[in-house]
Amino acid sequence: MKKYIVHFSILASFFLLFSCNDNNKLTEVVEVPLPTKEEKITIGSPNDVKADPGSFEMTKLPYSYDGLAPAIRTLTLETHYSKHYLTYTNNFNKEIANTEFENMPLEDIFKKMDLSNAKLRQNAGGYYNHTLYFNILTPKEQTPKDTLASAIDKEFGSFANLTNQFKGQATKQFGSGWVWLVVDRYGKLQVTTTENQDNPLMKNALIPGTPILGIDLWEHAYYLDYQNRKGSYIDAFYEHINWEKVNEYYIEALKKVKKV
Ligand code: MN
């Protein structure tokens, strides 16, 4: 009987030894980086995002959800477009349904609306601002060309000066808001800021004008990617500006000034 007990304890020791080895192996496997939360989430397609029927439609996203990554990551862009922008669009349409604004051009709505109507102000601004934001971004880095490039040199001295002014104001912006490049009422380019979802087309604008470029400085635009490092987001955004598109908006905005 004693013999059997000895044999058993020897076997048990071996077993423990092997299971230790197994544990070590398991530990090594666990140390391989786990997939991030983002990779586990199913990302949809921007083409499947549809606002409810109404006066204004969402702009089609001119690139895919991963088109601006890693500067603006897939999950951030998907949430921004398919949740925030969609909600502003639906709420704005709901707010103007069966009112004098239902069939009015957007810029006239901004001129005429009562700023004490918070729901209309926030959602009309949210709709317009995000429409511009998604349209002036692009996967590949560009620099201004043509008409816009000469105007920037003439009015700011150089592209670097505009960059410093734009990034500087964006960095200084306290709380949620936007920094804009606008064509003011005299046709001059200016950098300006607005709070919340206001924009330079509204009656309260410090520098009224037509926005041709705007950076969203709400935390939802960057917090998943950069947390408190707002400066890194501003730099990353700037590298993805579609200056070709901004040039088109510049020429359009100038036409409006000349008509007045
Ligand atoms: Mn936003």
Rounded-to-integer distance, Cα 215 and Cα 193, Å: 10
Cα-to-centroid distance, 220 and ligand 1 (Å):
6
Rounded-to-integer distance, Cα 253 and Cα 76, Å: 30
Reference 134, options 191, 88, 202; nearest CA is: 88
Report yes or no on 93 lying in a domain.
Answer: no
Reference 200, options 208, 212, 189; nearest CA is: 208
Report yes or no on 25 lying in a domain.
Answer: yes
11 pLDDT band (50/70/90 cuts)? very low
Cα-to-centroid distance, 164 and ligand 1 (Å):
23
Question: Domains in the chain: how many in total?
Answer: 2
Identify the pLDDT of residue 42: 82
- CATH code of 188's domain: 3.55.40.20
35-77 pLDDT tens trace: 565 556 688 999 999 999 999 999 999 999 999 999 999 999 9
Mean pLDDT across the chain: 88
Write down the pTM of the prediction.
0.83
Report yes or no on 239 lying in a domain.
Answer: yes
Note whether 216 and 185 are within 8 A (CB). no
Cα-to-centroid distance, 236 and ligand 1 (Å):
16
Report yes or no on 172 lying in a domain.
Answer: yes
Report yes or no on 205 lying in a domain.
Answer: yes
Identify the pLDDT of residue 36: 63
Report yes or no on 5 lying in a domain.
Answer: yes
Cα-to-centroid distance, 249 and ligand 1 (Å):
20
Report yes or no on 245 lying in a domain.
Answer: yes
Report yes or no on 94 lying in a domain.
Answer: no
Domain membership of residue 153 as a residue range: 146-259
- What residues have their beta carbon closer than 5 A to ion ligand 1? 84, 216, 218, 221
